[in-house]
Amino acid sequence: MSRPLAPTSTLELLRAAAELCGPTAQRLFAVLAEDYPASLERRPGQLLRAARATAADLDGLLAAAGVASTDDLRMLAAREIGLRLAEPDLRFTSREPQSEPRERSALRRMITTEEDNLRRTLADLQANGALEVAAAALLRARRRWVLGDLKSAGYASLLTSDLTSSMRDVFLVQPATGAAVNAISDAHADDALVVFSFRNYSRLTVDVAREFHVLGASVIALTDSYTSPVCSFASHVLAVDTRSESPHHSPTAVVAAAHVLAALAAAGAKGAARRSRRRTEVFRSLGSYGLGRPASDAAPDTLGDADGATGLPATAAGAPGTYAPDAADSPSFPGDRRPPAR
């Protein structure tokens, strides 16, 4: 479109909203109005950079104007002028050394790949029942260990945090030989180990899974293929699609599968809701929640519990602790039975 059109009702609505929202919103409006409606054919990121604004500023401007998104704004403007506006060009230039000169990849294709990974992974895990069986194994376990090496260390930390909020005796194994030896030495046949293993596969992760398997413990593997090395020692395999348009494997479906696994385990643990409430109370009493709120504001009895538990994360740093059976964490799946304390 070669030249801007006369002001329209939509443009006037944006002008009024910008006046309400302040200087940053006014800069955004100026960028939009400069060659409106052709400006709506630019990527939102380009508009933000030109106006020195943030995504929150753009969302606030659109919300004040009663518009849900830039896509809705583009459709509204197209109806007003009676012309079809092209969608923003979502291409970007790849600067990877191994890429061809001037090679261009589509942002839309990357987003579509991530959506497909997530949809396919969760649909397959639901269809084959792997998530439910793995969650039941976690509930039956005497203690739960979680291990991830290299990039997978982040996945392991996230899963440990989720599991700790709903059940006791959850241990994050640090990806180091000493921590792995301690975990294997303290492990029991009634325990469960969750491992994350993706290309390039960590030898430490596979070795620890093998030792837990030899011990007789349940090994739950989140991995990218049924042929990955860790599958030889896994009692339960959660296959996750990690395809990516980038040189690195996609974490989207990995994090989602781990989250669903933790949520299913929490749903089966009878004491999960009580433990979650207890942890929230203790965090507040320690001043971890609420900026500026002194810890003395908490009730004096918030650090105690009926069974003496504080609700603090059990060895979130990964050091093995003492096993203490808790009936509140017993599995609620039919036919499941918690092993007796030894």
pLDDT tens by residue, the chain, 342 residues: 444 444 568 888 899 999 999 999 999 999 988 888 888 888 888 888 889 889 888 899 999 988 888 888 888 888 887 777 766 655 555 555 554 444 445 677 788 889 998 999 999 998 888 999 999 999 989 999 999 998 999 999 999 998 988 888 899 999 999 999 999 999 999 999 999 999 889 999 999 999 999 999 999 999 998 999 999 999 999 999 998 877 788 899 999 999 999 999 888 666 656 666 776 666 677 776 555 444 444 444 433 333 333 333 344 334 434 333 343 444 444 344 444 444
Cα distances from 257 to residues 126, 148, 161, 171, 317, in angstroms, run: 10, 15, 15, 19, 23
The CA distance from 267 to 21, in Å, is 43
The whole-number pLDDT of residue 288 equals 60
Q: Say if residue 117 is preceded by a cis peptide, omega within 30 of 0.
A: no
Residue 50: Cβ-neighbour burial (10 angstroms; 0-12, 13-18, 19+): middle
**Coil vs helix vs strand at 127:** helix
CA angle at 154 for the pair 152 and 155, rounded to the nearest 5°: 65
Q: Which amino acid is at 156?
A: A
**Tokens encoding 288:** 């971890």
The whole-number pLDDT of residue 11 equals 86
The whole-number pLDDT of residue 270 equals 64
The separation between CA 34 and the C-alpha centre of its own chain, rounded to angstroms, equals 39
